[in-house]
Amino acid sequence: MAYVDRGFNSGGGRISPTSAEFARAGIQNDCTLRPARHPQHSVLFYEGDKAERVYELDEGVVMLFKLLPDGRRQVVEILNAGSVFGLSAGEVYDCSAESLTPVKVSTLDRNSLETSPSLQRHVTRCLLSQLETLHDHAVLLGRKSAMERVSTFLMRLVPNRGGFGCVGPTEEAGEDSRSVTLHMTRQEIADYLGLTIETVSRVISEMKRKGLICIDRQDQIRIVNICRVCQMTGMH
């Protein structure tokens, strides 16, 4: 899938700061919990970096991704406010983290992570929800068609519909049409859904043609008929 990775050198050629640079900038010392802000397309850490901090996302959206040596990319997680990330089983991060929007992140203290039961419960809850999301995503990547993948992706963006609780064909009027913001380019969506950019584009066009969705703006999609889209996810 040899393409030039935009994420790594976005914004006019400058390579995004490494976590080493963040550390140098003195954003915080080890045992504090001071929030930091980063603009869109900031790389918070790279796969293989020494895993020395654990983050909690306060605002914004972050994606975690992995690269193969030949440049193929897979986005493995999309994280929203409340998510804990950067915890690693080994010495180094197993994937890279990049902000999809401007973000506010806190650093969690490694020591209290080990000792505070309430913080541990919080972390466990986060990890469990990530695990379940990844299980769902494995089904998507391993078994779903392009149309099903894109439909699933759109439904996940609808608040309170992450679990796709489709209430039925006759629902409160107006509730059937919802607008969602992607926060992602077509390339990022493709790398998340295990497709090519062209296939994503084609599927979105087809959904538009069928009147299922409207493209208000490039990254703003209005789902005209939630229930119809919901039924195309392969889960109903």
Q: Quick check: 88 binds a copy of itself (CB under 8 A)?
A: yes
| Best CA proximity match to 151, nearest among 226, 219, 101, 68 | 226
| Best CA proximity match to 61, nearest among 104, 6, 16 | 104
| Best CA proximity match to 105, nearest among 22, 188, 16, 15 | 22
Q: Which residue, 137 or 178, is less far from a copy of itself as judged by CB?
A: 137
| Cβ at position 150, least distance to a copy of itself in Å | 14
Report the alpha-carbon distance of residue 52 to residue 17 in Å, rounded.
16
Cross-strand partners of 92: 50
| Cβ at position 94, least distance to a copy of itself in Å | 5
Q: Quick check: 220 binds DNA (CB under 7 A)?
A: no
Q: Which range touches DNA (CB under 7 A), out of 49-57, 62-70, 125-133, 192-200?
A: 192-200
Terminal CA-to-CA distance of the chain, rounded, Å?
32
| Cβ at position 217, least distance to a copy of itself in Å | 27
Q: Quick check: 165 binds a copy of itself (CB under 8 A)?
A: no
Cross-strand partners of 74: 66
Q: Quick check: 111 binds a copy of itself (CB under 8 A)?
A: no
From 142, 159, 168, 174, residue interacting with a copy of itself (rule: CB under 8 A)? 142
